[in-house]
Amino acid sequence: MKIFNSLTRQKQDLVTHDEGLVRMYSCGPTVYSYPHIGNMRAYLFMDALRRTLKYNGYKIDGVMNITDVGHMTSDEDEGEDKMLVASKREHKSPWEVAKYYTDIFISETKRLNIDMPEHICPATSVMPEIIVFVKKLIENGNAYETSKGIYFDIATFAGYGKLGGVGLENKLAGARIDIDKEKRHPADFALWIKAPKQHIMQWDSPWGKGYPGWHIECSTIGIKYLGEYIDIHTGGVEHRPVHHENEIAQDDAYAGHQVVSNWMHLEHLLVDGGKMSKSLGNVYKLDDLVAKGFSPEDYRYFFFTTHYAKQQNFTWEGLESAKNALKSMKNILKEHKESTDNTKVKIDKAEKDFLEAINDDLNLPKALGIVWTLLKMPRDRKIYDAIIKFNQIFGFDFEGDIIPTEVQELAKQRWQAKQNRDFATADELRNKISQLGFSVKDTKDGYEIVKN
């Protein structure tokens, strides 16, 4: 299996530290607002990678962080903690904000049938481990204390800049004029921040009350769950020059050797050829797609039409084509299912081509094309069987038998509302269920959920 490694800038064979096992870290969300469809592209990519690894027989030990403290409004330690911004905006505690958006994030991944990592870890749950990590970096001479916090001294790490390819000179040139005079280098970054009183989230540490920097959370969680040899680390492309560069410095300085061997970066989703932005009103969520009659699965299909390392342009027309393609795919597949074996049809080559495509740095648009070539052939049960096998990668609901957890949950709430004779709520929940493409039917001893 070949993957493009952003560190070596080469497509190379995947070689894992332990044969047959992939230890994989995926940068997770900062839980301060609704995830948009661009964010979800990052996790669809992770899902596709996990499915491809499994298709190749690998076992996976995967972890994803949930950032619930310490991610500032700028990735370079500037500005305010995003959790506090949300806490003020929503008049809730940062913990309430974190719980609210973590739940939404998990439910969005379910709606998209995303194969999630084995471990999901909120940063606030590993405070003792983060403190031990920072202590070791100080002991090793890689970090120092200022009046504001503990900083990583990038001059002590020879490889700094190798991932982002930005170079230290450019980092310097790009640094702000009002640099913190106590820092040894403008690009030194915070491991631990001494908390001002207004920072609600703070923990005791050897350096007084404070909270961790965002980058140290990922390094700590990665090493805690996966150890000091991590095979693949995924994340959005914007994390390459700062967040991931800093993770490498922390990891390798801590372990005394290279920790992550392969970095894989996802290119962004654009909308109508440009950036998604609040001012343009085009920061779409899954619910916005559903409100226009699309299903989360249509967006899933849409994802497969562009390679992960290329920017993908979202348009409503593009989503409409994805929806139509998925619909006819399901219809034609049914015809193959209902036919008998046509001995003339050979699928060995298609199987080989399919494996080659997914193993060529996840060429899923090509893999999807192979499915279509098969679909267009004379109807044959063998084709149905092959496509069901290929569907381990795509995760489409061909049989119509996957009832998303979210729908099950809403149906349960509707049942309870009915029991309480709260018919207004029950009707509202029925509408929500119907927007998700399902209906509930009352039966003698309960209810039944069916797909529309």
Contact residues toward ligand AMP (CB under 6 A) are 27, 29-30, 38-39, 41-42, 235-236, 238-239, 266, 268-269, 276
- Binding partner selected for residue 39 from ligand AMP, Zn ion, none, CB under the kind-specific 5 to 8 Å limit: ligand AMP
Handedness of CA 54, 57, 59, 60 (dihedral sign): negative
Residues between 362 and 421 with contacts to Zn ion, criterion CB under 5 A: none
Q: Which of 61, 51, 59 is nearest to 19 (CA)?
A: 59
Q: How far is the CB of 214 from ligand AMP (least distance, A)?
A: 9
- Closest to ligand AMP by CB, 189 vs 390, is 189
Q: Which of 219, 217, 218 is nearest to 255 (CA)?
A: 219
- Report which residue's Cβ sits closest to ligand AMP: 236
- Binding partner selected for residue 220 from Zn ion, ligand AMP, none, CB under the kind-specific 5 to 8 Å limit: none
- In 241-267, which positions are buried (b, 16+ CB within 10 angstroms) versus exposed (e)? bbbbbbbbbbbbbbeeeebbbbbbbbb
Q: How far is the CB of 433 from ligand AMP (least distance, A)?
A: 28
- Closest to Zn ion by CB, 27 vs 190, is 27
- Piece in contact with Zn ion (CB under 5 A), picked from 77-85, 215-223, 337-345, 400-408: 215-223
User: CB under 8 Å to 410, separation ≥6 — which residues?
Assistant: 429, 432, 433, 436
- Binding partner selected for residue 218 from Zn ion, ligand AMP, none, CB under the kind-specific 5 to 8 Å limit: Zn ion
- Closest to ligand AMP by CB, 217 vs 406, is 217
Distance of alpha carbon 442 from alpha carbon 170, whole angstroms = 65
- Closest to ligand AMP by CB, 5 vs 33, is 33
Here's the x/- map for Zn ion, 26-65, by CB under 5 A: it reads as -x--------------------------------------
Q: Is 218 in the site for Zn ion (CB under 5 A)?
A: yes
- Closest to ligand AMP by CB, 180 vs 238, is 238
**Residue owning tokens 């039917």:** 441
Distance of alpha carbon 223 from alpha carbon 311, whole angstroms = 31
- Closest to ligand AMP by CB, 122 vs 186, is 122
- The residues binding Zn ion (CB under 5 A) are 27, 218
